[in-house]
């Protein structure tokens, strides 16, 4: 229900923005920034350390969230609330407060991801710009076992699948571009099936 509501609301609010491109002053803020020395590492340097500031913010968020979850008492409370709310409640943890606060914070991070899509990745407003990527994010979280550190690696895996079609086009392989575009979604289904068998 929330997905359908969010999609419809964004389409309604963005009707007058369809076709408008990101202003140049905002585009300038998101230009790639090469990190000295690290960006010179073969293959990985360009992929990891020659990115725009939003990507670096993602690295920082994953590290901070990992430290928060595994190295602080409040983070361990969040894990307890997620794994066994009844036991957390018995331990005098305010489970409703933890749930609402962290759902709101998670929603804010999702909002940042959506803003990145419409401001940087596709620098123009269009309806359904996410094209189901939110479900890939859900599969990624399940795949990495809710671990923010592993999520960095998993995100590059799914991201690599989504761009592989562009990279392989220049080789004129006898593979349909539509099949290549389908790979991240196919991987999502495979991951969910594999995780449900455990």
Round to whole Å and give the CA distance between 104 and 111: 10
* 3 state SS of 92: coil
Please give the model's pTM, rounded to 2 decimal places: 0.80
Round to whole Å and give the CA distance between 128 and 8: 9
Nearest to 54 by CA among 118, 3, 106: 118
198 residues of the chain, pLDDT tens digit each: 877 888 888 888 888 887 788 888 877 888 889 999 888 998 888 888 999 898 899 999 999 999 999 999 999 999 999 999 999 999 999 999 999 999 999 989 988 888 888 888 888 777 777 777 888 888 888 888 889 999 988 888 888 888 887 777 777 778 887 888 888 888 888 887 887 776
What's the pLDDT at 198? 66
What's the pLDDT at 192? 79
Nearest to 33 by CA among 5, 52, 6: 52
Helix (H) or strand (E) holding 152: helix 148-168
What's the pLDDT at 129? 78
CA 66 from centroid of its chain's CA atoms? 15
Round to whole Å and give the CA distance between 38 and 40: 5
């Amino acid at each position: 229900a929330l997905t359908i509501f969010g999609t419809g609301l964004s389409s309604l609010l963005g009707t007058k923005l369809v076709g408008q491109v990101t202003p140049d002053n905002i585009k300038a803020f998101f230009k790639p920034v090469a990190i000295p020395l690290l960006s010179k590492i073969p293959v990985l340097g360009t992929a990891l350390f020659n990115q725009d500031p939003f990507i670096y913010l993602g690295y920082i968020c994953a590290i901070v969230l990992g430290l928060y979850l595994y190295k602080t008492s409040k983070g361990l409370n969040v894990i307890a609330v997620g794994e066994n709310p009844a036991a957390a409640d018995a331990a005098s943890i305010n489970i409703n407060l933890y749930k609402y606060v962290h759902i709101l914070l998670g929603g804010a991070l999702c909002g940042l991801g959506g803003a990145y899509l419409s401001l940087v990745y596709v620098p123009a407003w269009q309806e359904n710009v996410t094209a189901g990527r939110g479900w890939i994010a859900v599969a990624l979280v399940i795949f990495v076992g809710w671990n923010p550190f592993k999520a960095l690696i998993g995100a590059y895996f799914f991201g690599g699948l989504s761009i592989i079609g562009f990279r392989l086009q220049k080789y004129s392989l006898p593979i349909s571009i539509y099949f290549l575009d389908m790979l991240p979604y196919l991987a999502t289904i495979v991951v969910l099936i594999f995780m449900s068998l455990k």
